[in-house]
Amino acid sequence: MSPEIRPDISRALLAYRVMATIVGVLLVVLILVGVPLKYLLEDGTGAQELGDWITGYLGVAHGWLYMIFLFAAFLLSRRADWDIPYTAVTLLCGTVPVLSFWAEHRATARVRREHGADAPATTP
């Protein structure tokens, strides 16, 4: 019988997944909604002002939350013993809209494969 995911890896994976989702949603709203509204519409319109608000406030929120995302992803990478290239790709995926969702799916699958019920049993 194979072991469950170690608690420290499980907690790090959960933190990473939550942060990847938050950062991903904020980045999609910021880049695909806020920026077009702000820069593609005439100044002074309600929609343009909404775009200005989105880019101002969500941009700052995304920046701060991205730092937490980086920490969570790095912590998971160390606990799950990822190599440097895999870690770097995972860290950079929070900067491209929609890509953080793909990276989160990829990282979760890897952790479950290497450390979950499907992983080979290890001897102490």
Cβ–Cβ under 8 Å, residues 118 and 1 = no
pTM: 0.84
Apex CA 93: angle with CA 90 and CA 96, to 5°? 175
Read off the pLDDT of residues 10-39 as tens digits, 9 standing for 90 and up: 999 999 999 999 999 999 999 999 999 999
Cα(108)–Cα(32) distance, rounded to whole angstroms? 26
| Residue among 124, 88, 97, 111 at smallest CA distance from 14 | 111
